[in-house]
Amino acid sequence: MPKNKTMKIRLFLFLSIAAVMVLPVAGCGFGGSGGTDPAEDPSASGGEPVIERYTGAKSREIPFVYTAKKELSLTFNGMGDQATMKSLLDELEKYQIKATFFLPGMRVAEEPDIAADILARGHEIENNTLNQLDLLKLDYEQIYKEVKLSSDVIERETGVRPRYVRTKSGDYNGDLPLVAAQLGMEAVVSYNINPKDRDMKSAEEIGEYIKRYIHRGGIISLNTDINPEVIPAVRYIKEAADEIGYRLVTLEQLVQDGGVRKPLEQIPGYDAAQINPDYHNANYQLLYKVETNQKHVALTFDDWGSDKTVTRILDILAEKDVQATFFLRAKGVEDNPNLARAMVEGGHDVANHSYSHPVVTSLTPEDLQEDIVKAHRVITEAIQQQPVMLFRPPTGVVDDERAKAISAAGYPNIAMYDVTTLDWDASNSADDILNGVMTQTKQGSIILLHMLDDIHTIEALPKVIDGLRNKGFTFVKMADLIQEQQ
């Protein structure tokens, strides 16, 4: 039988099955109330057993993977035509990238040879539902059948049973994780890096977007059947990953290499910071430098930056065998918790630099405490342990009333500094930063630098470390330096 005729017969059969299993009975819209309810009358669904709503634990939901490893995953939705898919697979092979393809079951039924080629080239296949319908418009039984039949088709045509499911848009309601669990699937996967290639962006634009938002544990989502620029974009994605030193791995490997975050309330010390209106008599200590009999200094970094910037700082510190203290703007941590965890795994301390980076004297003591407590909890959840209990006020501005409020909230040690070069100002060159640090630093100094993008701190940092070591200084974390205080 000719191949195209076989394909048409296969498609007809599966469309017929899908019509019976997924679509409502005649006269009913999706989620409508007309007609017979299959849950009440099994004959309404062709005599098939009624699918009862699952009441067990739902499956995992994965928008990104919790990991400090320099890995992320490139994933694709849908299945383009044969020529498109071959070109895409050739491009991935050219750059030695293994990807994960979420395929609609119906497209696998139409062109199983494409699915076979995906697997033969070392990529993964997962479930993109049967017809890529909007699951938000389906009831529980319809979602179940849409996912199950897709997995059945994929397994029958490829021999591989999908472990993950993703909707076409990435959106879903609370039914899908229950359906996935009922079907024995490991997780519902969405994404957190989405260039929105359906807007017909160029390959360069797609690459630039990913370069800007790339981070450890990220899940990139692209489509195979919407924008042909996705194919040449592979080159730019690979270049972005190589530039920062990240590997593109399959979703399964990313999940295996990662971990599962504990809920905040299960982490000891999550409540070490608390709202405390009784702050008026609180004691505090402003720490500008430490009186010590050892030639120790603390290197500290404030604020937040892109994965590329912060990772480069971490790489330099690792190369120079220096441990530092990072004061984190928690709003940034909230968007990229893996980066904060990478700091801890690198042997560094992380501490509180507020949630929204306000000038603390512009807030009421009550609002300041709310910001500090929120930051504490965001950072704690990100690193999965209590941060070092040091607070540094943004811009270094604080008054007596706010200092008492900070102390009463759980942070009596307020981390200031005696060495600053205004490196946050891009007009200050690497030489300006180096000279400022070298001329100001003394025994027990607390050095302030920043991890912002597009400034010259990264360029200056290796010279700062070498220069201070040449003068006999040793770097210690700020909490350790405080312990030396005479």
Gyration radius from the chain CA atoms? 27
Task: State both tokens at 170.
Answer: 């990435």
Does 450 qualify as catalytic in the annotation?
yes
Three-state secondary structure readout of the chain = CCHHHHHHHHHHHHHHHHHHHCCCCCCCCCCCCCCCCCCCCHHHHCCCCCCCCCCCCCCEEECCCECCCCEEEEEEECCCCHHHHHHHHHHHHHCCCCCEEEECHHHHHHCHHHHHHHHHCCCEEEECCCCCCCHHHCCHHHHHHHHHHHHHHHHHHHCCCCCEECCCCCCCCCHHHHHHHHCCCCEEECCCECCCHHHCCCHHHHHHHHHHHCCCCCEEEEECCCCCCHHHHHHHHHHHHHHHCCEEECHHHHHHHCECCCCHHHCCCCCCCCCCCCCCCCCCEEECECCCCCCEEEEEEEECCCHHHHHHHHHHHHHHCCCCEEEECHHHHHHCHHHHHHHHHCCCEEEECCCCCCCHHHCCHHHHHHHHHHHHHHHHHHHCCCCCCCECCHHHCCCHHHHHHHHHCCCCEEECCCEECCCCCCCCCHHHHHHHHHHHCCCCEEEEEECCCCCCHHHHHHHHHHHHHHCCCEEECHHHHHHCCC
Check if the beta carbon of residue 162 is closer than 8 Å to that of residue 139: no
Q: For the domain covering 265-483, report its CATH number.
A: 3.20.20.370
Q: Supply the pTM of this predicted model.
A: 0.86
Phi, psi at 228, each rounded to 5°: -65, -15
**pLDDT computed for residue 261 by the predictor:** 92
Q: Are 74 and 99 in contact (CB under 8 A)?
A: yes
242 conformational bin, left if phi > 0, alpha if psi -120 to 50, beta if neither:
alpha
In this predicted structure, what is the pLDDT of residue 198? 82
Contact call for residues 378 and 402 (beta carbons, < 8 A): no
**Percent residues over pLDDT 90 in the chain:** 88
Set 357, 376, 450, 456: catalytic member = 450
Query: How many angstroms separate the Cα of 367 from the Cα of each of 211, 259, 360, 372?
Result: 36, 34, 9, 9
243-to-214, 345, 420, 437 alpha-carbon distances in Å: 11, 22, 30, 29
In angstroms, the CA 160 to CA 145 distance is: 18
User: For residue 257, how far is the Cα from the chain centroid?
Assistant: 14
Q: Tell me the per-residue pLDDT of 136-173, one tens digit each, with 9 for 90 and over.
A: 999 999 999 999 999 999 999 999 999 999 999 999 99
pLDDT digits (tens, 9 = 90+) for 1-55: 445 545 544 554 455 454 444 444 333 332 333 333 343 444 444 556 788 999 9
* List 302, 307, 371, 423, catalytic entry: 302
Fold of 57-257: TIM Barrel (3.20.20)
Across the strands, what pairs with 285? 413
Q: Indicate the domain borders of the chain.
A: 57-257, 265-483
pLDDT of residue 47: 58
Judge whether residue 466 has pLDDT over 50.
Answer: yes
Angle at Cα 363 formed by Cα 360 and Cα 369, nearest 5°? 80
pLDDT of residue 74: 98
- Region 179-188: mean pLDDT is 98
Q: In terms of residues, how long is the chain?
A: 486
What percentage of residues in the chain have a pLDDT greater than 70?
Answer: 90
| pLDDT at residue 407 is higher than 70 | yes
Estimate the crossing angle of helix 307-320 against helix 457-470, to 10 degrees: 20
Looking at every residue in the chain, the average pLDDT score rounds to 91
For residues 332-349, average pLDDT: 97
Residue-level pLDDT at 200: 78
Report pLDDT for 20. 41
Q: Residue type for 205, please?
A: E
- What is the DSSP track for 15-28? HHHHHHHTSPPTT-
Instruction: Provide the pLDDT for residue 32.
Output: 32
The answer to whether 61 and 188 have CB atoms below 8 angstroms apart is yes
Which residues make Cβ contacts (< 8 Å) with residue 381, sequence separation at least 6? Answer: 261, 264, 267, 270, 337
**Burial of 473 per CB tally in 10 Å (0-12, 13-18, 19+):** buried
C-alpha–C-alpha distance, residues 391 and 410, integer Å: 9
Q: Largest Cα–Cα distance in the chain?
A: 90
Is there a shared CATH topology between the 57-257 domain and the 265-483 domain? yes
Which pLDDT score is estimated for 93?
98
Concerning whether 348 is annotated as a catalytic residue, the answer is no
pLDDT at position 252 over 80: yes
Contact 73, 194 (CB under 8 A): no
Give residue 377's Cα distance to chain centre: 17
Helical residues (DSSP H) of 272-327, grouped into ranges: 307-320
